[in-house]
Amino acid sequence: MSKKKYLLLFVPVIMISVAGFIYSSYTRTGVNIKKANAEKVTAPTLYERFSNNTSRAKSDYLHKVLEVSGTVMRTNKNQQEQTVVLLKTMTEGAAVNCTLEEKLEDLTEGKPVSIKGICSGMGEGDLDLGIPADVYLVRCYVIKN
């Protein structure tokens, strides 16, 4: 076959492949957090693992769905008006910071709760000011309260 025939076969194959990739990327949905299998861990344990060995904790938890159980330290709203739940850890001032996908007003400080979400790692904190870093979960849903 001549080079023109190969080119005439090759170009449509590439175009179809690119179109398929674009379509699949555009229509892809994220993980269904509510139905996804999740590794269970307590808030103090999760925080301790990130504090003691960040690289190991990243390989174990980062971008994975976790079900974190703990005690509500406090709740507030972020700039997008999403509810943010802070779970207590053993470190004073530190928390597991969970941004909820659903509006939820009935979480009480000091009560136990289980929250399912995707771990996005540990923040920076500010050692000069004595502010410890938090561990963050995003796209969260309350499982039990």
Q: Can you give the residue ranges of every domain in the chain?
A: 1-30, 39-144
Q: What is the mean pLDDT of residues 75-88?
A: 94
pTM: 0.79
d(CA 30, CA 36): 11
Say what the pLDDT of residue 24 is.
74
Domain 39-144 belongs to what architecture? Answer: Beta Barrel (2.40)
**For range 80-91, the mean pLDDT:** 94
Looking at residue 32, its pLDDT comes to 86
Residue 129 has a CB neighbour count (10 Å cut-off) of 6
The three-class DSSP label of residue 5 is: helix
Residue 23: its pLDDT value, please?
76
pLDDT digit string (tens) for 16-67? Answer: 888 877 777 776 667 788 889 999 999 999 999 999 999 999 999 999 999 9
